[in-house]
């Protein structure tokens, strides 16, 4: 029996149909909205590109018409183009006919970074990232090596060399839009000197400064306690931290000290989230700072670093075009230079930078509150005599290095030319060990101390570096011939940092970066043993302390250099490190990256203000 539709049914189905029609119309409208949003996003991208290109042309025009600027002798010099001196080289780059903005610069780190937070991170890799985000008052010219204004527009120095006054450029903002003022500079100093903040290394460097005071909105004064040879570098090189961003952590120092990625500044690049970067992200990605104040904007849209710990994996990644530079191992360099396929997309560079760092084996002199065998100077001297550094350079680094004598480059005025590297001398080394009480007492071929304990120790090294691993095995074999048992201990970088902070190791091999004039204070002065200072081998030498203090307080270079040379002689005698070598840089860079040249500071690749770029037809990545 069929049932007819009554009025209630008609109303019910009519209402249902209306609902369905409304849903369909809503879905249609949402689709239209998404289309409009996508279209608007595309228009915004195109407009941003147009504005960027227009801004670039305006900056070129402004640069050409601003040729009459007069600048005081010690100010942030402007060139004939009207461009501040710090940006002149970048300005010259944008004049090239194939110059274009855009693309990404992709590189690799050999370790997983532990933190990007200033002072909490202590390695050169994190410092490289920070330099793109936080800027200093001054910057060095890579050719003249003189100082040029960056955040500072001008500066002056008192006759007694104790007072430095900097005038900031007006109109600079941090990447979040908050204006930079002298208060931020003063805050940076106060923040670092706050004992609750984990920054012992930085405090040791800044201990010569009595105060940093904001005179007005754009004027800041550094007052030094006493003369210091590197005072301008210390004040002008201070990376400025935004007060509004970091000040809350003064009340929450543990939150800061345990953080992984608190990083904000005025620089040309920024973290997308300046509070929450973490090692779990697997890489570091910086994006162009749209509020960057600089006269010349950086060319690359993004900077990316990928952690690739294995040397061979990094080379494969570079061959595939997935990273833009590769630091070659000596064992493969010559083959790679002759590789025609690689040469099609990569240019090679071989150079010894005047500020090249040095590699060393550090001998810990105290562990668990007790002196180690390396507390005896004769033992440390013996280790240097027993390690054939010339052979290491020849067989492992294929001659692309030179033996290091001390922290000072052999071409530096700090170096005493009368000193030469201790030669490999097995008999001399064994003689010194015998004087220190070590000999083979039971005929097993291993040296023992007076209590019959064998001479054995662990040597900690970075497990990701294949050449270092080969070098450690070489040292193990050569020491075995002298009756010493070396146990290689490959470790992850984070583990090595923890060992150094706790002083919990026997010996460790690492490298230090260097500078135009090297200050020994932070590494070898006995005051830097406590806390987490960089004298992590517990080395004490009162005479060296005196020489370091006197050299640092001597502004006159002619009087200072003999003091540094005397300090070098103390290190040469004591051998707290066995100074291994200074290595040449052997680098390959993707050919699409233009304007790569050598300077007195090394390659300009990636330097700030950025001078490199990729022509538009050769760009790989879109913003």
Give yes or no for residue 580 having a pLDDT over 60. Answer: yes
Residue 574 confidence (pLDDT) above 80: yes
The pLDDT assigned to 213 comes to: 98
DSSP 535-557: -TT----HHHHHHHHHHHT---H
Q: What is the arithmetic mean of pLDDT over 373-380?
A: 98
Instruction: Give the residue with greater pLDDT, 66 vs 425.
Output: 425
Confidence at residue 531, expressed as pLDDT on a 0 to 100 scale: 80
> Once rounded to an integer, what is the mean pLDDT over residues 592-613?
93
Query: Is 90 exceeded by the pLDDT of residue 375?
Result: yes
How high is the pLDDT of residue 15?
58
Tally of CB atoms within 10 A around 393? 21
Between 110 and 305, name the one with better pLDDT. 305
CB contact at 8 A, 457 and 498: no
206-223 mean pLDDT: 97
pLDDT of residue 560: 96
Give me the half-sphere count of Cα atoms (radius 13 Å) on the Cβ side of residue 319. 13
Q: Which value, to the nearest 10 degrees, does the dihedral of the CA atoms of residues 428, 429, 430, 434 take? A: 100
pLDDT exceeds 90 at position 12: no
| 275, pLDDT greater than 80 | yes
Average pLDDT value over all residues in the chain: 88
The conformation of residue 341, written as its DSSP 8-state character, comes to H
Choose the weakest-confidence range: 290-294, 530-534, 582-586: 530-534
The CA distance from 519 to 238, in Å, is 16
Query: Exposed/middle/buried for 187, CB within 10 Å: 0-12, 13-18, 19+?
Result: buried
Distances in Å between the alpha carbon of 117 and those of 138, 343, 475?
22, 38, 36
> What is the per-residue pLDDT for 17?
58
Domains 79-103+289-352+586-623 and 113-281 share a fold: yes
> 296-313 burial, b if ≥16 CB within 10 A, otherwise e?
bbbbbbbbbbbbbbebee
Q: Is the model's pLDDT at 353 over the cut of 60?
A: yes
pLDDT classification of 22: cutoffs 50, 70, 90: low
Res 18: pLDDT: 57
Candidates 291, 284, 339; CA nearest to 315 is 339
- pLDDT above 70 as % of the chain: 87
pLDDT at 83: 87
- Give me the percent of the chain exceeding a pLDDT of 90: 77
The pLDDT of 384-399, averaged and rounded, is 96
Phi, psi of 140 (to 5 degrees): -85, 140
Least confident segment among 65-79, 145-159, 375-389, 542-556: 65-79
Nearest 5°: phi and psi at 157? -130, 135
The fold of 79-103+289-352+586-623 is: D-Maltodextrin-Binding Protein; domain 2 (3.40.190)
The domain spans of the chain are 79-103+289-352+586-623, 113-281, 358-583
Give the pLDDT confidence score for residue 69 in this predicted structure: 28
Phi, psi torsion values for 416, nearest 5 degrees: -85, 115
Please tell me the predicted confidence (pLDDT) of residue 82: 75
pLDDT for residue 313 is more than 80:
yes
Of 42 and 525, the one with more pLDDT: 525
- For residue 106, what are the β-bridge partners? 304
Residues with Cβ within 8 Å of 374's Cβ and at least 6 positions away in sequence, in order, are 363, 364, 365, 380, 383, 506, 507, 537
Q: What is this structure's pTM?
A: 0.79
**Domain at 113-281, CATH from 3.30.390.30, 3.40.190.10, 3.40.50.1950, 2.40.110.10:** 3.40.190.10
Give me the mean pLDDT over the 252-257 stretch: 96
CATH architecture of 358-583: Roll (3.10)
Bridge partner residues of 346 (DSSP): 590
What is the C-alpha to C-alpha distance for residues 373 and 456, in angstroms, rounded to an integer?
10
* Higher pLDDT among residues 169 and 5, named by residue: 169
Closest to 326 measured CA to CA, from 337, 309, 314, 338: 314
Mean pLDDT of the 57-68 span: 36
From residue 125, alpha-carbon distances to 50, 130, 303, 534 in Å are 35, 9, 14, 17
pLDDT of 195 > 80? The answer is yes
DSSP string, 177-236: SPBP-HHHHHHHHHHHH-TTSS-HHHHHHHTTEEEEEEEETTEEEEEESS--TTHHHHHH
Per-residue confidence band for 604, with pLDDT thresholds at 50, 70 and 90? very high
Q: Which residues contact 588 (CB under 8 A, 6 or more apart)?
A: 318, 325, 326, 328, 336, 342, 346, 347, 348, 349
Q: Is 5 exposed, middle or buried (0-12, 13-18, 19+ CB in 10 A)?
A: exposed
């Amino acid at each position: 029996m069929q049932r007819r539709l009554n009025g209630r049914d008609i109303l019910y189905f009519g209402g249902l149909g209306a609902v369905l029609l409304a849903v369909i119309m809503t879905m249609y409208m949402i689709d239209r909205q998404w289309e409009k949003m996508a279209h608007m996003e595309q228009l915004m991208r195109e407009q941003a590109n147009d504005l960027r290109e227009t801004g670039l042309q305006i900056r070129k025009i402004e640069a050409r018409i601003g040729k009459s600027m007069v600048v005081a002798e010690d100010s942030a010099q402007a060139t004939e183009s009207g461009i501040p001196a710090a940006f002149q080289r970048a300005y010259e780059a944008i004049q090239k006919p194939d110059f274009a903005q855009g693309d990404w610069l992709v590189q690799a780190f050999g370790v997983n970074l532990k933190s990007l937070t200033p002072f909490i991170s202590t390695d050169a890799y994190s410092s490289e990232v920070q330099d793109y985000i936080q800027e200093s008052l001054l910057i060095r010219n890579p050719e003249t090596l003189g100082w040029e204004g960056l955040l500072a527009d001008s500066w002056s120095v008192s006759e007694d060399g104790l007072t430095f006054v900097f005038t900031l450029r007006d109109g600079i903002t941090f990447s979040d839009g908050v204006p930079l003022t002298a208060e931020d500079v003063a805050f940076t100093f106060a923040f670092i000197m706050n004992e609750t903040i984990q920054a012992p290394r930085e405090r040791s460097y800044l201990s010569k400064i009595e105060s940093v005071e904001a005179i007005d909105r754009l004027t800041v004064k550094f007052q030094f306690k006493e003369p210091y040879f590197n005072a301008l570098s210390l004040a002008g090189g201070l990376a400025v931290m935004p007060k509004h961003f970091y000040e809350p952590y003064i009340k929450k120092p543990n939150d800061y000290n345990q953080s992984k990625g608190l990083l904000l500044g005025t620089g040309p690049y920024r973290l997308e989230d300046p509070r929450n970067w973490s090692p779990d992200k697997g890489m570091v990605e910086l994006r162009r700072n749209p509020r960057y104040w600089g006269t010349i904007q950086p060319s690359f849209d993004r900077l990316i670093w990928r952690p690739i710990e294995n040397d061979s994996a990094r080379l494969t990644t570079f061959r595939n075009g997935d990273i833009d530079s590769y630091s070659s191992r000596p064992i493969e360099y010559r083959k790679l230079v002759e590789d025609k396929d690689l040469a099609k997309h990569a240019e090679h560079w071989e150079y010894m930078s005047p500020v090249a760092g040095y590699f060393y084996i550090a001998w810990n002199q105290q562990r668990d509150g007790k002196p180690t065998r390396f507390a005896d100077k004769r033992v440390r001297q013996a280790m240097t005599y027993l390690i054939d550094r010339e052979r290491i350079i020849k067989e492992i680094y294929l001659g692309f290095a030179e033996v290091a004598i001390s922290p000072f480059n052999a071409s530096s005025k700090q170096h005493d030319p009368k000193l030469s590297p201790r030669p490999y001398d097995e008999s001399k080394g064994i003689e010194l060990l015998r004087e220190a009480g070590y000999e083979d007492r039971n005929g097993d071929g291993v040296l023992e101390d007076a209590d019959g304990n064998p001479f054995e120790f662990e040597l900690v090294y970075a497990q990701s570096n294949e050449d270092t691993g080969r070098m450690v095995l070489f040292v193990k074999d050569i020491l075995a011939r002298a009756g010493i048992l070396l146990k290689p201990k490959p470790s992850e970088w984070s583990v090595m940092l923890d060992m150094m902070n706790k002083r919990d190791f026997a010996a460790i091999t690492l490298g230090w970066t260097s500078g135009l004039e090297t200050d020994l204070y932070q590494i070898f002065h006995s005051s830097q043993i406590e806390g987490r200072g960089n004298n992590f081998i517990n080395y004490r030498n009162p005479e060296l302390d005196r020489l370091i203090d006197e050299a640092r307080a001597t502004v006159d270079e002619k009087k200072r250099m003999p003091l540094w040379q005397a300090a070098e002689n103390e290190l040469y005698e004591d051998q707290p490190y066995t100074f291994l070598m200074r290595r040449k840089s052997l680098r390959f860079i993707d050919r699409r990256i233009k304007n790569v040249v050598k300077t007195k500071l090394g390659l300009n690749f990636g330097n700030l203000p950025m001078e490199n770029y990729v022509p538009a037809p050769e760009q790989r990545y879109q913003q």
